[in-house]
């Protein structure tokens, strides 16, 4: 039973990251009049910051990167998908003639 609960928590946290990054990216796209800025921000700022935050000095560089499991990687993939969807949504709205976006 605990394995099922942990799997459900993983699904919830992945969807939460997707929706949260989508919302933040959508707002940034509207305010800055960009399309793919959230993806660049995600790749240039958030990923290195997350790696730096979890870095363990007692391990080697290879040991630090192999310490990540699917539980660490799936929410990151969900956030990246959310950033991509926010850019795609803004692009679709602009192509649809909405000048506000």
Reading phi first (left if > 0) and then psi (alpha if -120 to 50, else beta), residue 15 is in alpha
pLDDT score for 1? 61
φ and ψ at residue 22, rounded to 5 degrees: -60, -45
pLDDT (tens digit per residue) in 28-81: 988 888 888 889 988 898 888 888 888 888 888 887 788 888 888 899 999 999
* Cα dist from 61 to 27, 47, 48, 87, whole Å: 36, 16, 14, 33
How far, in Å, CA of 71 to CA of 11, rounded? 10
How far, in Å, CA of 13 to CA of 71, rounded? 10
- Write down the pTM of the prediction: 0.84
């Amino acid at each position: 039973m605990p394995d099922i609960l942990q799997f459900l928590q993983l699904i919830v946290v992945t969807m939460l990251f997707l929706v949260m990054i989508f919302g933040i990216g959508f707002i940034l796209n509207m305010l800055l009049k960009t399309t793919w800025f959230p993806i660049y921000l995600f790749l240039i700022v958030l990923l290195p910051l997350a790696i730096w935050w979890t870095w363990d000095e007692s391990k080697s560089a290879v040991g630090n990167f192999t310490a990540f499991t699917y539980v660490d990687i799936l929410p990151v993939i969900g956030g990246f998908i959310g950033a991509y969807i926010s850019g795609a949504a803004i692009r679709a709205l602009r192509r649809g003639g909405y000048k506000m976006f």
